[in-house]
Amino acid sequence: MVVSEIPAINITARNTRIIPFEYEYYEPRSLKEALELLDRYGDQARILAGGTDLLVKMKARLVEPRVVINVKKIDNLRYIVEDGEQVRIGALTRLRDIENSELVKKYIPALHDAVKSMGSIQIRNMATIGGNLCNASPAADTAPPLLVHNAKIVLSSVGGDRVLPLTEFFKGPGLTVLKPSELLREIIVEKTNAGSSAFKKVSRVAVDLAIASAAIYVEVEDGFIRNARIALGSVAPKPLRAVKTESLLRGLRIDSREVLNALKTIDEEISPITDVRSTAEYRRYVSKVLVLDALEVAYTRLKGGVHG
Ligand SMILES: Cc1cc2nc3c(=O)[nH]c(=O)nc-3n(C[C@H](O)[C@H](O)[C@H](O)COP(=O)(O)OP(=O)(O)OC[C@H]3O[C@@H](n4cnc5c(N)ncnc54)[C@H](O)[C@@H]3O)c2cc1C
């Protein structure tokens, strides 16, 4: 083949092998160094954690940062620890670490379910929990479990830390309240023995983002729901809590028809769209099924049954 016959590469198309633009690259070894870089470059910079979202977007030129700050070598942001009444998870903790964590399985079972369902082992070995939250996809699977566990997040900058409930973090698809100078450092979950939780999702094939997902946390006393928290993914511009449905569940017998009736209210709380993965109509239908399934699993766990 002569050179003139070689087809030109269209670098604006989705070529998955190359990053078709130049950028400055840093590998800070400490949080302090990373925060100083973020402070210096602000919105021109992007954090690279596992890269399983960012690199895909850079290759497709959906984002073109002038500066890439690879934080993966900062070891002290990768941990899952029990600290009094809390479980604290470093933002650079890999999904695979969470999958293998007995602490998460015991105290945040819905998160354990969610992580097991994400991507492939190769992806889970690279991807971080912080990256999943900061990417802010409406389909981010770690979000619904953390929302039903009332998780808090710690955002750090050279000016110090601020702690927010996760409910205040997401603004819309790909959008969060994170400032350009801030890094998500830690996720905090209160331990509880009063209730249990579960996560369910449906996707087109195993390694794909969710068509819809749901997490529930439930406390049950003498067969009656004492407290319930529900969160849904992929059915609105951001992962959300279904607070109206939650309030209707409180006080109902867990095995009653009223639970099914209450779940119909989910329709009012979501705003699904039709896209390549599914239709809005199917998302509406399946959301209620997922919540019901998750409720059954969480209740089985609460009674001491084994579920995954
Ligand atoms: C084949 C495949 C399958 C996938 N399956 C799933 C799935 O089933 N469910 C699902 O939810 N996702 C899935 N994903 C998406 C992705 O793997 C996850 O969202 C992952 O957790 C992202 O983490 P990361 O460390 O790779 O993030 P990165 O790609 O490194 O970063 C993502 C974004 O967050 C920012 N960021 C990262 N860490 C921080 C931080 N600590 N502070 C501030 N900003 C930060 C980055 O700048 C970037 O904008 C899949 C991806 C692929 C390629």
pLDDT digits (tens, 9 = 90+) for 181-195: 999 999 999 998 899
Number of residues written out for the chain: 308
Ligand 1 centre distance from Cα of residue 127 (Å): 6
Residue 12 has pLDDT above 80, yes or no: no
pLDDT band at 249 (very low <50, low <70, confident <90, very high): very high
Look at ligand 1, atom 9, and give the residue with the nearest C-alpha: 118
Look at ligand 1, atom 53, and give the residue with the nearest C-alpha: 52
Mean pLDDT of 64-79: 96
pLDDT band at 207 (very low <50, low <70, confident <90, very high): confident
87: left (phi over 0), alpha (psi -120 to 50) or beta: beta
- Tell me the average pLDDT of the chain: 94
Calpha distance 266→263 (Å, rounded): 6
The predicted model scores a pTM of 0.94
Instruction: Quote the tokens at residue 181.
Output: 């100078």
Note the pLDDT tens digit of each residue in 157-179. 999 999 999 999 999 999 999 99
Calpha distance 249→228 (Å, rounded): 7
Residue 306 has pLDDT above 70, yes or no: no
Count the neighbouring beta carbons within 10 Å of the beta carbon of residue 10: 9
Nearest ligand 1 atom to the CA of 185 is: 41
Nearest ligand 1 atom to the CA of 117 is: 8
User: Is the separation of the CB atoms in 231 and 214 below 8 Å?
Assistant: yes
Pocket test for ligand 1, best of 14, 70, 71, 132 (most atoms within 8 A of CB): 132
Ligand 1 centre distance from Cα of residue 53 (Å): 4
Nearest ligand 1 atom to the CA of 134 is: 34
| Residue ranges around ligand 1 (CB below 6 Å) | 46-54, 56, 91, 95, 118-119, 123, 126-128, 130-132, 134-135, 139-141, 178, 183-184, 207, 209
Rounded percentage of the chain residues whose pLDDT exceeds 70: 93
CA gyration radius for the chain?
Answer: 21
CATH (residue range 3-70): 3.30.43.10
DSSP string covering 135-189: HT-TT-TTHHHHHHTT-EEEEEETTEEEEEEGGGTEEETTEES--TT-EEEEEEE
Calpha distance 188→152 (Å, rounded): 5
User: Is the separation of the CB atoms in 36 and 76 below 8 Å?
Assistant: no
Calpha distance 70→294 (Å, rounded): 36
Ligand 1 centre distance from Cα of residue 283 (Å): 23
Ligand 1 centre distance from Cα of residue 71 (Å): 13
Ligand 1 centre distance from Cα of residue 128 (Å): 6
Residue 254: predicted pLDDT: 96
The domain segmentation of the chain, as residue ranges, is 3-70, 75-190, 196-302
Q: Is 247 helix (H, G, I), strand (E, B) or coil?
A: helix
Pocket test for ligand 1, best of 52, 54, 92 (most atoms within 8 A of CB): 52
Q: Is 68 helix (H, G, I), strand (E, B) or coil?
A: strand
- What is the third-level CATH fold of 75-190? 3.30.465
Q: Does domain 196-302 have CATH number 3.40.50.2000?
A: no
Residue 206: predicted pLDDT: 82
Kindly give, in sequence order, each residue whose CB lies less than 8 Å from that of residue 261, ignoring residues fewer than 6 positions away. none
